[in-house]
Structure 1
Amino acid sequence: MNFQDLFNFLDKLQQNNSKEWMDANRKWYKSLRNEFVLWLDELDYTMAQLHDDYYPTPGKKGINRINNNLMFHPHKPIYKDHFGAGLDKAPKSADFYIEIGIKQCLLAGGFWRPESKTLRSIRDGIDYNGEELQQILDTPSFKKTFGNLYEDEKLTNAPKGFSNDHPYIELLKNKTFAVVHQFDRNEVFQDNFEEKIKQVYLEMLPFRRYLNNAATV
């Protein structure tokens, strides 16, 4: 994957974020998109060797649209400043997301503001066995890789059905259960970039498995 060409394209796109510019450069975009899909296919195959429960996700299925959803976000520019995709994308499971962009390059995973039924199941899982999740979050290598849970809106008080003195009340207040690992742009160009992706994926795996188990109970 020619990531330098991808960054050049995204830089130009953000300077000329319009349908007219995209139409004039659509051949460039399609070439990069196809190359990114092939790179995702290779990454997907590599990561499928890591464990038996990996859910194969072809690049064409995993890649996100470059258009912003202006119906829900009318003030955003027409086009995004990154290429993004989800891998290991089993239905109704915790995400594993990769983003290569001009403002940030990252890996993320978990549930971002899940619908109420899934959120309730996760909270019930924490109520039943919050100790396991806390142990995952407190693991030194996990904290080094991700820090804390992704900062998002939280409830002020205990969610319905739970008490304010619950031992894991701060976890229960979360509306999003996700973690993020940021890459420096220079890391993307390094020969071991895919190896770093694998390492982050494996570090995240116990967290995603916990969420998946809780969400499906």
Structure 2
Amino acid sequence: MDFKALLEFLRELDQNNSKEWMDKHRKTYHRHRDSFIHWLNQLNIRLGQVDPDYYPTSGKTAINRINNNLMFHPNKPVYKDHFGAGLDKAPNSGDFYIQIGIRQSLLAGGLWRPEPKRLRSVREAIDYNGEAFMEILDKPSFKKLFGSLYEDEKLLTAPKGYSKDHPYIDLLRNKTFAVEHQLTEDIITDPDFDEYIVVVYQEMIPFRRYLNKAITV
């Protein structure tokens, strides 16, 4: 996968963000998209080799649309400034997200603003066994790669049914349970980028499995 060429294409698209420009360069876009899908297919195999619980996800299934949804976000540009994809995409669970873009590239996983039923399930899991979740979050290698949970909106007080003095009240107030690892262009274009992803993926496994178990059991 030629990530340098992909990033250059995304920069040109960002400077000429219109359907007219895309129509003129659609063959180039599809060439990069096909290469990205092929790369995802290879990464799909590699991750399956290191994780016995990995859910096989083809590149075509994993890749996201490059078009922004203008119906709900009319002020956004026509096209995104990145290629994004979700691997290990089992039904009713959070995936392993990959984003390669000109403003932000990252690896992420967890649950982004889950619907109320799932959010209640995560909070119930934390209430029942928050210690196990904290052990995952406090592991030095985990903190080195991800820092803390993704900063998003939180409840101003305790969720309904929980005391404000709950030992894990700071966790329970979260509306998003996700982590992310930022990527630089040097990392993305390094020949060992795939193995770098494997390291990050493996470190994220206990975190994602805890959340997925909470919303599926």
TM-score by length of structure 1 reads 0.99
Distance 2:191 2:8 in 1: 20
Question: How far apart are 1:5 and its partner, in Å?
Answer: 1.0
The within-5 A match list for 1:118-157 is: 118-157=118-157
Deviation track 1:15-65 (CA, whole Å, cap 9, x = no partner) reads 000000000000000010000000000000011111211000000000000
Aligned partner of 1:89 in structure 2 is 89
- Alignment of 1:66 with 2:57, yes or no, is no
Aligned partner of 1:199 in structure 2 is 199
**How many pairs align?**
217
SS in 1 for 2:14: helix
Aligned partner of 1:172 in structure 2 is 172
Distance 1:159 1:68 in 2: 33
SS in 2 for 1:42: helix
Amino acid at match of 1:20: E
**Superposition misfits of 4+ residues, deviation over 6 angstroms:** none
Percent identical pairs in the alignment equals 65
Aligned partner of 2:39 in structure 1 is 39
Indicate conservation of the 8 Å contact 1:152/1:175, yes or no. Answer: yes
Indicate conservation of the 8 Å contact 1:37/1:59, yes or no. Answer: yes
- Alignment of 1:163 with 2:159, yes or no, is no
SS in 2 for 1:108: strand
Question: How far apart are 1:2 and its partner, in Å?
Answer: 0.9
Distance 2:160 2:149 in 1: 22
Question: How far apart are 1:9 and its partner, in Å?
Answer: 0.6
Distance 1:7 1:197 in 2: 18
Indicate conservation of the 8 Å contact 1:108/1:179, yes or no. Answer: yes
**Which stretch has the larger CA shift, 45-54 or 198-207?**
45-54
Question: How far apart are 1:72 and its partner, in Å?
Answer: 1.2
Deviation track 1:132-181 (CA, whole Å, cap 9, x = no partner) reads 00110000000000000000000000011111000000000000000000
SS in 2 for 1:84: strand
Question: How far apart are 1:102 and its partner, in Å?
Answer: 0.3
Question: How far apart are 1:6 and its partner, in Å?
Answer: 0.4
SS in 1 for 2:178: strand
Question: How far apart are 1:71 and its partner, in Å?
Answer: 1.2
Question: How far apart are 1:216 and its partner, in Å?
Answer: 1.5
Indicate conservation of the 8 Å contact 1:104/1:185, yes or no. Answer: no
TM-score by length of structure 2 reads 0.99
Question: How far apart are 1:204 and its partner, in Å?
Answer: 0.3
Amino acid at match of 2:88: D
Distance 1:130 1:8 in 2: 44
Question: How far apart are 1:104 and its partner, in Å?
Answer: 1.4
Distance 2:7 2:191 in 1: 17
Indicate conservation of the 8 Å contact 1:114/1:175, yes or no. Answer: yes
Distance 1:13 1:141 in 2: 37
